[in-house]
Amino acid sequence: MGNYTATAFAHPNIAFIKYWGDIDPDLHIPANGSISMNLRELFSRTSVSFDPALEHDQFTLDGRPIDKTGLERVRSLLKKVRRMAGIELFATVESHNNFPMGTGIASSASGFAALSLAASKAAGLNLDEKALSCLARSGSGSACRSIPSGFVEWQAGGNDEESYAFSIAPPEHWDLVDCIALVSQDEKPISSSEGHYMAKTSLLQPARVADAPRRLFLCRQAIHAHDFDALAEVVELDSNLMHAVMITSTPPLLYWQPATVTIMQEVESWRKDGLMVCYTVDAGPNVHVLCSREVSGEVTDRLQKLSGVQKVLVAHPGGPANFENGYSNT
């Protein structure tokens, strides 16, 4: 076995068709398939060193030691890697995000994707994309979509071997832009994991899940055909369906703030006026505003002027999890 250290990079992703609710919460086997786009300008960089001198696993995030739930999730992924590689060493994990925590951008997706690649390599394994995607999924569901490149589909699969993500188009296929309007940078009160667990308490979840194959088909088709209008329709519907499930769960989960709704309404009226733009919202109040490259400057300006918008981050379609930082600013 070579040296016990490796570093990897991965981008977060924004879901066009959302993952919400599990059939197996421990393995993160989702109730429905999902589709996303990697976000090129944002990334996590994670280094893993298996070290004979360590007596337990250690994890720092942006330089701060993490314990409890965060450490437990990292530890259980490392356990899997140790089992696969047949080693018994503990590891130091150092992860850094180039985007601030608490911006509502899922650092768990990029973090667990980068961790899967770095930890497996450091342990001497050379996993293929499918195996890496499954490993990342076991850490955080949406992390499996940050392993492949560009526009990515996660097939629900129904079991540990068949629930993984693959690329449906490379990043250069479509120059979409995600303008992320930040309205709050507070930590969310209910985590996605708790939300997935609560999804089944909503009367609407069975209907959302039953219709998912149709929305996946429409989204796939819109991406392949570069059809922005079709994409906008299915992306907004899917986001609204997920939030309908959230607000009708027990207890109800309302992630939106007044500024969230203002942005959604503005985006709709801009589209009616002919701007190629649509919104999608994850488990938080910030709004991902998707648009074509030609109008991204205009969209960013308009978003910055709306009351309640603190900042706008801009991201283009990104590549796969990798040992190099795949981001170049060209």
In the complex, which residues of this chain contact ligand DP6 (CB under 6 A)?
A: 15, 18-20, 28, 34, 106, 108, 140-142, 192-193, 196, 282-283
CA 9 vs CA 45, 79, 152, 281, 323: distances in Å: 5, 21, 17, 25, 6
Assign 3-class secondary structure to 155-202.
ECCCCCCCCEEEEEECHHHCCEEEEEEECCCCCCCCCHHHHHHHHHHC
Q: Which is nearer to ligand DP6, 195 or 302 (CB)?
A: 195
Q: Which is nearer to ligand DP6, 161 or 301 (CB)?
A: 161
- Residue 189, preceding peptide bond in cis (omega within 30° of 0): no
Q: How far is the CB of 192 from ligand DP6 (least distance, A)?
A: 4
Q: How far is the CB of 17 from ligand DP6 (least distance, A)?
A: 8
Q: How far is the CB of 41 from ligand DP6 (least distance, A)?
A: 18
Q: Which is nearer to ligand DP6, 196 or 302 (CB)?
A: 196
Q: Which is nearer to ligand DP6, 49 or 163 (CB)?
A: 163
Structure tokens at 57: 């696993």
Q: How many CB atoms lie within 10 A of CB 327?
A: 17
Q: How far is the CB of 65 from ligand DP6 (least distance, A)?
A: 21
Q: How far is the CB of 136 from ligand DP6 (least distance, A)?
A: 10
Q: Which is nearer to ligand DP6, 34 or 300 (CB)?
A: 34
Question: What are the E-state strand segments in 52-108?
Answer: 58-61, 64-65, 90-97
